[in-house]
Amino acid sequence: MITPLPLQPHDDEGPVFQEPWEAQAFALTVELSRQGLFSWPEWTETFSSEIKEAQEAGDPDLGDTYYEHWARALEKIIASKGGIDSATVTGRAEAWRRAYLNTPHGKPIDLSAGLNKPGHP
């Protein structure tokens, strides 16, 4: 039996994503599930556990950290399936941080701006 996947979250005004990365994390999760890396019930269990851990650590659950929990749960489930290791996740997060710092305000972030280049740390 195939478990149906959710539609893109939306309200009367359209998609409910506050930032583009939230939509990307959502889409990546749905696509990885569709491709069979994990089932949707596995995803909901992992995501629920991540939210519970955050609440137990003091997250006030105001909704503004929802996709941060989503991204951490996605990292965890991918790692548990052997899809990526924590060093790779940490390295990519650092590359995104550097890219963000090297991108002019109002411009799309270009990941290549955060990647190490020969002669640069």
In tens digits, the chain (121 residues) has pLDDT values of 444 445 566 677 776 788 888 888 998 999 999 999 999 999 999 999 999 999 999 998 888 899 999 999 998 999 898 877 778 878 878 888 888 888 888 888 777 776 665 444 4
pTM of the model: 0.65
For residue range 70-96, list pLDDT tens digits in order.
999 998 999 898 877 778 878 878 888
Say whether both 94 and 75 belong to one domain. Answer: no
Residue range of the domain that includes 98:
86-115
Say whether both 58 and 91 belong to one domain. Answer: no
Helices (H) and strands (E) in the chain, counts: 4, 2
Instruction: Classify residue 78: in a domain, yes or no.
Output: yes
**Number of domains forming the structure of the chain:** 2
Query: Could you tell me the CA-to-CA distances from 104 to 11, 14, 110, 120 in Å, in that order?
Result: 32, 28, 10, 20
Say whether both 91 and 78 belong to one domain. Answer: no
pLDDT at 8: 60
pLDDT at 1: 45
Within 10 angstroms of residue 67's Cβ, the number of other Cβ atoms is: 19
Instruction: Classify residue 62: in a domain, yes or no.
Output: yes
How many CA atoms are closer than 13 Å to the CA of 111, on its beta-carbon side? 7
Instruction: Classify residue 34: in a domain, yes or no.
Output: no
